Amino acid sequence: MKEVNEILKQMKLEVIKPVYILDGEEPYYIDYIIDLFDKNILQDHEKDFNYKVFYGSETSSDEVINECNSFPVFSSKRLVILKEAAQLKDFDRLESYLKNVNDTTILLIAYKHKKLDGRSTLTKFIKSKEGSNKIQYATFEKIKDYQIADWILNYVKGNNIKINVMNAELLAAQLGTNLQKIVNEIDKIKINLKEGDELSEDLIEKYIGISKDYNIFQFAKAVLERNSVMTFKIANYFIANSKDAPMVVITAMLYNEFNKLYKYHYSKNLPQAEMAKAIGVSPYFLKDYQRAGQAYDLAQTMKVIHIIYYYNLKAVGINIANNNMNMLKEFSYKILTVE
């Protein structure tokens, strides 16, 4: 991500700004940068007198400002971290400090899970030319589900190990959009690999517990191909192992897949690169949607989307009190027999 790369570049060149403000709905990168600053700005022996962490729910702007205005002891810099900044009741009072910063203090503000109020004078100053001279501001948007597989490919590559597109898609389908969870699961495997080794299906099954044959990715593939034998084999596995694929996760996955199939029907005459972009998939997977397009025409695809919507309501308990995984068989049958 370019925002992270910019901060890494500044750290490498030792041109650290006095203030860093990180906001947005994606907490992974904010936590990553906090950890980066925590480990690299000060040496351990410098932290005794020059390091302070505040939590927005437990402090005030005045306390943060007073700490920032202190000067370093036996060090050239001080590091002040404000976590949970969105919970700081008088956050806008920080404006006075941001307009007159102490260059010997590095203030890192973590405004997680939301964005700064763009209407406030504080935010306008932060984004202004004057403000950007001393303040590095970065927003981290939540990564979309269709971007997760590519994110996994890049993360694994950045750790000097290998993974193929299929296994990246498998992890994306099974683990969802929580980047920290994805990193934690991949790291379980990484510690058992040497540089250049491949993160294989067998390793995913061994260390993460995702069956290479009976997983949500293979289930969606079987449904899209109208392969009733494999669909019900995997459905039976899910019923026996409901923690591996809760019904709400299954309906969400199938909705995404049939939504892509719906887009395919409207873009199937485009060149392959444009078609892949319109659907929101890697060109590598186009053949899967071309096959699915033969199994379900446009009208059937739309009917399936309505079936998925109905069973998702059942799964979350709006239309049925008993959220039983046995409805998965009925759900699968309705899709496979749609006319």
Q: Report pLDDT for 325.
A: 66
**pTM score of the predicted model:** 0.78
Query: Domain spanning 2-139: which superfamily?
Result: P-loop containing nucleotide triphosphate hydrolases (3.40.50.300)
| Rg of the chain taking only CA atoms, in angstroms | 25
Place of tokens 């700081």: 88
**Residue 119 host element (H or E):** none
Average pLDDT, whole number, for the chain? 91
Predicted local confidence at residue 321, as pLDDT: 44
pLDDT for the residue 324? 62
Euclidean distance between CA atoms 84 and 44, whole angstroms: 24
159: CB partners within 8 A, 6+ apart: 186, 190
Q: State the pLDDT at residue 28.
A: 95
Q: 3.65.10.10, 1.20.272.10, 3.40.50.720, 3.30.70.20: which CATH number matches 213-339? A: 1.20.272.10
Domain ranges for the chain, please list them.
Answer: 2-139, 143-211, 213-339
**Of the options 3.10.450.200, 3.40.1160.10, 1.10.8.60, 2.60.40.1120, the CATH number for the domain spanning 143-211:** 1.10.8.60
Residue 138: C-alpha distances to residues 21, 115, 198, 333 (Å):
6, 10, 33, 47
**Residue among 182, 127, 118, 191 at smallest CA distance from 155:** 182
Going by the DSSP 8-state scheme, the letter that residue 117 receives in this structure is -
Residue with tokens 């932060």: 126
The answer to whether 125 and 131 are in contact (CB under 8 A) is: yes
For residues 327 and 333, the answer to whether their CB atoms sit within 8 Å is no
Query: Rounded to whole angstroms, how far apart are CA atoms 35 and 173?
Result: 28
Three-state DSSP at 250 gives helix
Q: What is the number of alpha carbons within 13 Å of residue 204 lying toward its C-beta?
A: 23
**pLDDT block averages, 10 residues each, the chain of length 339:** 87 91 95 95 94 96 96 95 95 94 97 93 93 93 87 92 89 88 93 89 87 87 94 90 81 92 92 89 86 94 95 75 70 94
